[in-house]
Copies of this chain bind each other. A is one copy, B any other.
Amino acid sequence: LNFQLTILGTSAAVPYKNRGLAAQVLEVHNRLFLVDCGDATQFRMHTHGIKLSKIEAIFISHLHGDHCFGLPAVLTTLAMQGRTAPMHIFAPKGLKRMIDTIFEVSNYVSPYPIYIEEFDENWFAQPESGFKTTIYENKQLRVRAFPLMHRIPTCGYVFEEKQAPRNIIAERIAQYDIPHTAISGIKNGENFTTKEGFVIENEALTRAPNKPRSFAYASDTRYSAAIIPHILGVDLLFHEATFMHNMAEHAAFSGHSTAQEAATIAQLASAKRLIIGHFSARYTDLSPLLLEAKAVFENTELADDFTTYFVEKS
């Protein structure tokens, strides 16, 4: 049961050499979730052999073009591929009007339902605790959104694998003559009472399941310690690092972070692992950004176009 992130674009604002625009595919138990969707995302998925048709839901951080201009083409191509399943899309307010207008002037009606859930001013203004709410879930996964600090309303997202039930130890079934009807309860932590009336503690019957894995996406944002509570202890953190720290003032002004700041967030949030990306086109060689981040948070990697980052079970 996999948990992996494929990065399709690492460039900020405009394509630069081989760096594409913001788009990432999170795969959880073979189900795909698209996070941001810059221009050409459908092409980049196609090139990399990721099946568009397998996308279950789409999460857009904000409405700057480099994060969402590829979305209309993704949606219409899905229709051409025969999709009938609904698509759920999450985004700050405005995306629905954008998509509706584009489809309307093209005289286009989607053959499958598209549900766009928008985060409006009230959502952004809610008390901190409100951001704990799950915005999307399926059998495997739960997703939360939280506010980033950019020039326009922007969301980060946290994707958390659901806690699996405990694993029953096969030999115990015969040993204690456990009937099928009791299995589900035991997996959920119940003790078992034998026919003879002995109570067997759950821990003697089961092994702990793998820990739920998690991924947090934070792009675009200026340095903001306010995001830390939302991403505490995350296994994999993608945090934008548009600039080096010698441009910290420009970064803050333009609503972006430096490599050092991204690493500081990872450090303070006790993230297990940090990927930095969304690089300014001024940097051809990215190794100084990596060095800068590693000085603060050792377990940092550079985002690389068409690279998959695996989160193993533990």
Contacts and interface: CB of A to CB of B under 8 A. Distances in A.
A13 B70 contact: no
A97 B106 contact: no
A80 B281 CA distance: 11
A46 interface: yes
Interface size class of A (residues with CB under 8 A): 35 or more
Interface string A97-124: 1100110111110000000000000000
Contacts of A98: 101-102, 105
Residue among A13, A72, A73 facing the most chain B CB atoms (10 A cut-off): A73
A147 interface: no
24 contacts: A13-B77, A13-B80, A14-B42, A15-B42, A15-B46, A15-B77, A38-B73, A39-B70, A40-B40, A40-B42, A40-B43, A63-B106, A64-B106, A64-B108, A65-B72, A65-B73, A65-B76, A65-B102, A66-B73, A68-B106, A70-B73, A98-B101, A101-B101, A107-B151
Q: Which 7 A-B pairs have the closest CB atoms?
A: A94-B105, A40-B40, A39-B73, A101-B101, A63-B106, A69-B73, A65-B76
Given A39-B42, A40-B40, A69-B102, 5 more contacts: A65-B73, A66-B73, A66-B76, A69-B69, A107-B151
